[in-house]
Amino acid sequence: MADKPSVLFVCVHNAGRSQMAAGWLTHLAGDRIEARSAGSAPADQVNPVAIEAMHEIGIDITAAQPKVLTVDAVEASDVVITMGCGDACPIFPGKRYEDWKLDDPAGQDIEAVRKIRDDIRSRVEQPLGELLPD
């Protein structure tokens, strides 16, 4: 069987947006797509409000840990989706990159984080359809 496609979500702290995106992709695609996330300057822990917002819709990201972005992670991914990490993300020829303009959930209340969570879901559905055959 061919390797399954993989998507790497990257933000600065790997504590909110990228963790929620990876959670959504895993939830929506199951094991058909590998979802990874990393940060250019990872935080100590995942944002508790992001965990709460995902928990409300039945997605558990409590086990997720912020990870540092590595060249290997980028090279091993089919699609790299950045969320405000700017020039910190290494660029490789032949990789597909997208940059999502999303508010950072850090320091925001649950209402604001719910909006970000729902925005991420609609964005995750697009690469999902492109990476999976019908």
Kindly report the pTM of this predicted structure: 0.93
Q: Which segments of 1-134 are extended strands (E)? A: 6-11, 34-39, 79-83, 96-99
DSSP label at residue 31: T
Asked if residue 62 is part of any domain, the answer here is yes
Active site residues: 11, 85, 89
Domain that holds residue 112: 6-128
Asked if residue 115 is part of any domain, the answer here is yes
Strands 96-99 and 6-11 come out as: unpaired
Q: How many domains would you assign to the chain?
A: 1
What CATH number should be reported for the domain holding residue 78? Answer: 3.40.50.2300
Asked if residue 134 is part of any domain, the answer here is no
Task: Please tell me the distance from the alpha carbon of residue 114 to that of residue 132, in angstroms, as a whole number.
Answer: 27
3-state SS assignment for residue 48: helix
Strands 34-39 and 79-83 come out as: unpaired
Percent of the chain with pLDDT over 90: 75
pLDDT at position 102: 92
Q: What is the pLDDT of residues 106-126, one digit of tens each?
A: 999 999 999 999 999 999 998
Q: What is the pLDDT of residues 21-42, one digit of tens each?
A: 999 999 999 999 999 999 989 9
Task: Please tell me the distance from the alpha carbon of residue 92 to that of residue 103, in angstroms, as a whole number.
Answer: 26
Beta bridge partners of 59: none
